[in-house]
């Protein structure tokens, strides 16, 4: 089955072509530069950028995959949750393509796509330029890396292409990650999954493929929001998460003691607004810190340590309580090096298998939308009606 997927729920315009569990192409146009000026995502601007970029992004994805519109068997798009006007752009475009081609259409829950994204694996392709830097498949721990399924050999390379505008995208085409991406659901194990992004932080028990139950989520700010807002207090550019990650590498995580909200609460919910407030008061009382580079690094490391400790301890506790042998993680914050490191350490200690989403698939992308849509069609789940509308507040159950 060959499927085109679109993702426009927030500030990335993305299109991917997926065929039989393989990601043939994934084009992403990021709007980060547009929104950075305002210190956060401006919904109206996001919608306008999606409108401007969608067609060139789709054309790039189809071209890189070597697929014509007429060859598509199905079309998918993110239906929710997300910014209403942003969602509308990709969702209505995908429905129109499905209508024109008379092919099935699948509306996807963005979080459900993140949830299964850790099973999309990559291997470096020896044929692609720049592939030497690509990390190998990221099934970590207990038992090592499982053998690749036959489907992985000789497949076309996935091209992850990103840029800030279609014109810039052309300039970075050579930077595709050179990896082969494919959905390795043969390796699936029941797991507890951490979805951690700028808008959401949740723990989900995944019993079997397409069968999951949310255990807990944030009662206020998401972890990514906490990174971004505390970074803003320090004067770091939006989104501050990657910058805090970078500065924290040379900082002392024990320099300052920040609260670990709900760490000892027996439930699976999270709360990060108290941590943000305590950083605000800390900076009010110690304004001189921002004049000293090393103390800024220490502050970043200390904030990051508080967020990571809560995420890791609560995830491991949920995994043990639910008697699963596997932990997975996805969403933008899963790019964070300390989080990846600490999850790996904790899982090793507890003899749990850890399956982290590839970094290029942690942030928003259409590849994960397409992979999930294909699994749903293969599982005979009914396509989404072309009369259906976006669902901006769609909560994963
Ligand atoms: O999944 P995503 O691209 O979009 C949402 O659905 O929100 O996640 C974006 C979030 C932002 O808050 C960003 O600061 C955070 O992920 N993020 C990071 C890192 N990379 C991205 N946070 C901490 N460390 C990182 N390396
Ligand atoms: Zn997301």
Backbone conformation region of residue 351, classed left if phi is above 0, alpha if psi is from -120 to 50, else beta:
left
The minimum-distance atom of ligand 1 relative to the CA of 362 is 1
Asked whether 242 lines ligand 1 (CB < 6 A), one says: yes
CA distance 240 to 228: 5
CA of 231, closest atom in ligand 1: 14
Portion of the chain with pLDDT greater than 70, in percent: 86
What confidence tier does 122 reach under pLDDT thresholds 50, 70, 90? confident
How far apart, in whole angstroms, are the C-alpha atoms of residue 62 and residue 367?
13
pLDDT band per the 50, 70, 90 thresholds, residue 129: very low
Pocket test for ligand 1, best of 333, 362, 365 (most atoms within 8 A of CB): 333
User: Crossing angle for the helix pair 337-349 and 293-321, nearest 10 degrees?
Assistant: 40
Helical spans, DSSP H, in 249-292: 273-285
Pocket test for ligand 1, best of 232, 246, 363 (most atoms within 8 A of CB): 363
Ligand 1 atom nearest 199 alpha carbon: 7
pLDDT in tens, 263-298: 999 999 999 999 999 999 999 999 999 999 999 999
Ligand 2 mean position to 334 CA, how many Å? Answer: 11
User: In angstroms, what is the span from residue 232 Cα to ligand 2's centroid?
Assistant: 21
Q: Whose CA is nearest to atom 8 of ligand 1?
A: 332
- Spatial distance between the Cα atoms of 197 and 218, rounded to a whole number of angstroms: 11
CB 279 within 8 A of CB 296: no
Nearest-CA residue for atom 24 of ligand 1: 336
Show the beta-strand stretches assigned E in 60-166.
74-80, 105-109, 120-124, 139-140, 160-163
Ligand 1 pocket mutation pick from 11, 36, 197, 300 by most atoms within 8 angstroms of CB: 197
Residue 231 Cβ < 6 Å to ligand 1: no
| d(CA 11, ligand 1 centre) in Å | 11
Tell me the two tokens of residue 105.
Answer: 């259409």
Nearest CA to ligand 1 atom 7: 198
**Residue-by-residue DSSP string for 141-201:** STT-SPPPPGGGTTPPPP-EEEESSHHHHHHTGGG---EEEEE-GGG---EEEEEE-SS-E
Over residues 332-378, the pLDDT tens digits come to 999 999 999 999 999 999 999 999 999 999 999 999 999 999 999 99
pLDDT tens digits for range 7-28: 999 999 999 999 999 999 999 9
Question: 256 near 282, Cβ under 8 Å?
Answer: yes
Nearest bound ligand to the CA of residue 249: 1
Q: Which residue has the higher pLDDT, 267 or 133?
A: 267
pLDDT of residue 333: 98
Residue linked to tokens 């910014």: 83
The CB of 221 under 6 Å from ligand 1? The reply is no
* Ranges 36-45, 138-147, 308-317, 327-336: which has the least confidence: 138-147
Alpha-carbon distance values, 118 to 132, 189, 225 (Å): 22, 11, 22
Q: Is 196 in the pocket of ligand 1 (CB under 6 A)?
A: no
């Amino acid at each position: 089955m060959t499927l085109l997927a679109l993702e426009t729920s927030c500030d990335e315009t993305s299109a991917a072509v997926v065929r039989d569990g393989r990601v043939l192409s994934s084009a992403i146009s990021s709007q980060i530069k547009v929104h950075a000026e305002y210190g956060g995502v401006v919904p109206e601007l996001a919608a306008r950028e999606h409108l401007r970029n969608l067609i060139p992004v789709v054309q790039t994805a189809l071209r890189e995959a070597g697929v014509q519109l007429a060859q598509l068997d199905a079309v998918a798009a993110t239906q929710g949750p997300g910014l209403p006007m942003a969602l509308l752009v990709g969702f209505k475009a995908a429905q129109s393509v499905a209508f024109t081609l008379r092919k099935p259409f699948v509306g996807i829950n963005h979080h459900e796509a993140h949830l299964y994204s850790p099973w999309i694996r990559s291997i470096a392709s020896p044929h692609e330029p720049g592939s030497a830097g690509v990390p190998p498949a990221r099934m970590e721990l207990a038992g090592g890396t499982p053998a690749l399924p036959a489907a992985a050999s000789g497949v076309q390379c996935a091209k992850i292409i990103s840029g800030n505008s279609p014109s810039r995208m052309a300039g970075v085409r050579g930077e595709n990650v050179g990896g082969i991406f494919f959905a390795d659901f043969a390796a699936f194990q029941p797991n507890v999954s951490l979805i951690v992004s700028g808008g959401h932080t949740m723990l989900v028990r995944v019993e079997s493929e397409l069968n999951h139950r949310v255990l807990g989520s944030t009662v206020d700010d998401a972890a990514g929001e906490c990174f971004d807002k505390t970074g803003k207090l320090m004067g770091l550019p939006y989104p501050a998460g990657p910058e805090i990650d970078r500065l924290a590498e040379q900082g002392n995580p024990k320099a300052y003691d920040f609260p670990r909200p709900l760490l000892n609460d027996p439930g699976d919910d999270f709360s990060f607004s108290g941590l943000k407030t305590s950083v605000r008061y800390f900076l009010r009382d110690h304004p001189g810190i921002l004049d000293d580079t090393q103390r800024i690094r220490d502050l970043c490391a200390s904030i990051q340590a508080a967020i990571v400790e809560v995420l890791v301890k609560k995830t491991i506790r949920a995994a043990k309580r639910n008697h699963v042998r596997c932990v997975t993680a996805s969403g933008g914050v899963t790019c964070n090096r300390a989080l990846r490191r600490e999850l790996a350490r904790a899982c090793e200690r507890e003899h749990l298998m850890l399956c982290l989403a590839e970094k290029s698939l942690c942030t928003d992308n259409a590849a994960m939308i397409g992979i999930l849509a294909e699994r749903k069609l293969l599982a005979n789940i009914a396509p989404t009606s072309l009369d259906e509308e976006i669902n901006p507040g769609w909560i994963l159950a």
